[in-house]
Amino acid sequence: MQAFFSRHEAREPDHVLVVFHASFPETRGGINVMIDALARQWVALGVRVSILVPAPWERGPGLTGERHGAITVYRMRLRSPWDSRRPLRGLLGWLAELPGTLWVLWRLLRRERVRVIHFHTPRDYQLLLQLLSVLGGPPVVMTFHGTDALEFARTDRNAPWLHRWIVTRAAAVTAVADHYARMIATAHPRCAPVTVIPNGVPWLETEERAPCPEPLPGRFWVMVGWIEPPKAQDVAIMAWGEVVRHSPDLHLVIVGEAPYLRPGQPYYPGFLDTLRALACQHQVETRIHYTGVLPRAQVLAVLERAEGLLFPSHREGMPYALLEAGAVGIPVVCNRIPPFTDLIVPERTGLLTPDSDPIALAGAVSRLERDPELGRAMGRAWREEVRERYSVEAMASGYLNLFRRVTGRPFASPQAWGSVGEGAA
């Protein structure tokens, strides 16, 4: 790493390069929300932050950059050496672009004096930056967010050796929840020891507000997240058929959109049609509302108006919507799976129900509707838990402490960089 940096090292702020297929400055999905919160908090602490996003194929191999406040977002095509449809052609194309891509990335790391490369979820496109790290570049820190840990623990996916090589050569590995840390350590003991750094949210007094999207129903519970089978919107809709028997004026608002593999190619073809058919089957088509994706400020406004948050997911990482529900102080009903079993204390900070059980889910919602004081007490308890344990300040400090360990030097210390304003300039 010393080959990358020589002069004036002590006077420059530390620089983190975040690598993820991010939508920054938009926040679509929990990982994007986490990166946004983390990057802004680092900037406030005097750390330089850049984000490298793999660009679509048609953009070509060149590097472009655009400034968003104190954060620079770079975009560049990063090919994978593995193409399951055309393995030989994919490998030859990758080899043809390899020297030029490595040169551009090396120049970026050197020019910007990057101290740490921060990967989010294992991806093929991380290979070249990991190669540069192995050859003397900045150390890599890999963060697992949830379902990526489940995929990484499998051995039947495409090219598992590629992701395994990327992860096992990281200087440090983190997970956002204990459950996934244990899973990674068990499946791949050659990884660096997995450090758990929980996600954190900015406290709402500091957050931008926006009007709620209109029209919203008068009384409603809310779900927030990708519209996909793992999030179990189908279970929620079946449950709502039971909920309206006791609370006919109670609605369910679903915030989010369906994920796409690429434009015109959804990950789960037909799932939205299935949800609409279920709503008709259970006679709740007028009680289910879809807002589409919303800016985070509007998501917070919707949560503040909701009577509770529903989370019947079959698998999760550490969802931001759950923490944000705590920040606004509304009750939560979740599936009884990790990490909810690690986060929620049943009967105190929320209710947990069995997986794929719409009757139990409806029963939990109806119970809180019959006893609103119980719901308010759970909301207050979850709010205090989030404030004490899941702040963005704690999350940012956790990563900076880890960066200090992997670089072997003070990282973003206020004594080194002076005032926050000077470091973030």
* Pair 106, 249 in one domain: no
* Pair 190, 214 in one domain: no
For residue 293, the tally of other CB atoms under 10 A from its CB is 17
* Pair 272, 370 in one domain: yes
Question: What total of structural domains would you count in the chain?
Answer: 2
* Pair 153, 294 in one domain: no
* Pair 167, 265 in one domain: no
Residue pointed to by tokens 């609605």: 251
- Angstrom distance (rounded) from CA 333 to CA 246: 17
* Pair 40, 160 in one domain: yes
Q: What is the pLDDT of residue 58?
A: 55
* Pair 384, 395 in one domain: no
Q: What is the pLDDT of residue 419?
A: 36
Q: What is the pLDDT of residue 204?
A: 64
* Pair 105, 215 in one domain: no
C-alpha Rg value of the chain to the nearest Å: 22
Confidence (pTM): 0.84
Q: What is the pLDDT of residue 132?
A: 95
Q: What is the pLDDT of residue 423?
A: 32
* Pair 186, 215 in one domain: no
Of 260, 249, 245, 386, nearest to 326 (Cα)?
A: 386
* Pair 233, 137 in one domain: no
- The parent domain of residue 281 ranges over 204-388
Listed as ranges, residues in the chain with pLDDT below 70 are 1-11, 56-61, 147-159, 204-209, 412-425
From first CA to last CA, the distance across the chain in angstroms is 25
* Pair 289, 418 in one domain: no
* Pair 160, 253 in one domain: no
- Angstrom distance (rounded) from CA 404 to CA 123: 25
Cβ contacts of 423 within 8 Å, gap of 6 or more: 13, 45, 46, 47, 412, 417
List the CATH number of the domain containing 162: 3.40.50.2000
Taking only the tens place, the pLDDT of each residue in 75-92 is 998 888 877 777 788 788
List the Cα angle 150/135/401 in 5-degree steps. Answer: 60
